[in-house]
Amino acid sequence: MNGSEGGAPGGGAGQDSDRGPVPAPPKHPLSTQPIRLTDSGGPGSGESKSKARSKRRRSRRRAGRLPDRAVVLVGPMAAGKTSLGRKVAKDLGIPFVDTDAVFVREHGAITDFFAEKGEPEFRRIEAEIIAAELARPGSRIVALGGGAVLAEATRELLRGHPVVLLMTTQAAVLRTANLSRRPLLRDDPDAWGRILEVRRPLYDEVADVTFRTDRGSKEQLARRVAGWMRGQGRRQRTAGDEPNTSTAASRGMDTDTE
Ligand SMILES: Nc1ncnc2c1ncn2[C@@H]1O[C@H](COP(=O)(O)OP(=O)(O)O)[C@@H](O)[C@H]1O
Ligand SMILES: O=C(O)C1=C[C@@H](OP(=O)(O)O)[C@@H](O)[C@H](O)C1
Ligand SMILES: [Mg+2]
């Protein structure tokens, strides 16, 4: 079951490039103040250390209200799992892992791997990587590849985690996403819709909540996902749920908490 964000704004398959002219902050702002190398005011000094300490404390307080296990992002190719996951994790001050990135680090480009070893071998390794990542305790966000839900073992593991489904449309994906890195779409972009049709029941099976990512801003969407995650953390604590046990109590009851 799956609480739905229905028309929840988002913007999943937005653009490969930036979404607007956002001025980048200066990388090395020039200081007009002399830098002091003593213990009272300069970089690495008491003041900046205490700022860093309170930032860490704030982060930990925030993380304290989050689920104590991985929150998992699933959904079709180019729905925004990787970019949204990274952003929400950064905003919340918790780790982020993209299982495709782990794969690429260990086995090289996915497109090459598909061509040389085939999809079944990719799926086997993908499921192993996911199992290893989901076994790690602590608040974190894990973004899966779009086809990860094909593996029954993975769907089984997802029962023990809060799962967010990011959903978009083929039109939005074809407008914006980089298809060359996605072997299943590279030669046949329209396959996106056909593939989704096959996988939709699997996404519905594992998801606790759905957010649309084909409209609205990334900021808005990130806030809504973070809010939902906090709701899951509170619920987990109220239920006295143990890490890495089933979230069945919450499954099916989730709607947006913002
Ligand atoms: N909320 C969003 N709004 C706008 N564009 C987005 C959003 N999320 C992702 N994108 C864009 O969509 C494309 C695919 O995103 P990505 O995170 O790689 O998706 P996935 O991991 O689901 O395949 C990227 O070009 C990304 O910049
Ligand atoms: O849907 C799929 O079968 C795939 C999705 C990709 O990840 P994204 O969903 O992040 O694009 C990647 O795992 C691989 O190309 C296969
Ligand atoms: Mg991705």
| CATH classification of the domain holding 128 | 3.40.50.300
Query: Is 131 a domain residue?
Result: yes
In a domain, 6, yes or no: no
- The pLDDT of residue 256 is 35
Q: What is the pLDDT of residue 239?
A: 77
pLDDT at 244: 39
With respect to residue 202, please indicate whether it lies within any of the assigned structural domains. yes
- Domain presence at residue 116: yes
Are the beta carbons of 8 and 84 closer than 8 angstroms? no
Q: Render each residue's pLDDT in the chain as its tens digit; 258 residues.
A: 455 543 333 333 333 333 333 344 433 333 333 333 333 333 444 567 777 767 666 665 555 589 999 999 999 999 999 999 999 999 999 999 999 999 999 999 999 999 999 999 999 999 999 999 999 999 999 999 999 999 999 999 999 999 999 999 999 998 888 888 888 888 888 999 999 999 999 999 999 999 999 988 999 999 999 999 999 998 877 876 554 333 333 333 233 322
- What pLDDT is stored for residue 195 in this prediction? 95
Instruction: Please spell the DSSP secondary structure of 117-155, one letter per residue.
Output: H-HHHHHHHHHHHHHHHHTS-SSEEEEPPTTGGGSHHHH
b/e 193-204 (16+ beta carbons within 10 angstroms → b): eebbeebeebbe
Rounded CA-CA distance 187/183 in Å is: 8
Please classify residue 256 by burial: count the beta carbons closer than 10 Å to its beta carbon, then call 0-12 exposed, 13-18 middle and 19+ buried: middle
Q: Is residue 23 part of a domain?
A: no
What is the CA(84)–ligand 3 centre distance, in A? 9
CA of 12 relative to ligand 1 center, distance in Å = 5
Q: Is residue 22 part of a domain?
A: no
Give the per-residue pLDDT at 173. Answer: 92
Residue 38 lies inside a defined structural domain of this protein: no
Q: Give the mutation target among 72, 83, 169, 199 for probing the ligand 1 site: most ligand atoms within 8 A of CB.
A: 83
pLDDT given for residue 180 in this prediction: 81
Provide the number of structural domains found in the chain.
Answer: 1
Within a domain: residue 1?
no
Give residue ranges with CB within 6 A of ligand 1.
Answer: 10-16, 19, 75, 77-84, 143, 176-177, 213, 218, 221
Domain that holds residue 181: 51-239
What are the strands, taking DSSP E only, across 75-232? 96-98, 140-143, 163-167, 209-212
3-state secondary structure of 57: helix
Q: Which atom of ligand 1 is nearest to the CA of 85?
A: 17
pLDDT at residue number 64:
58
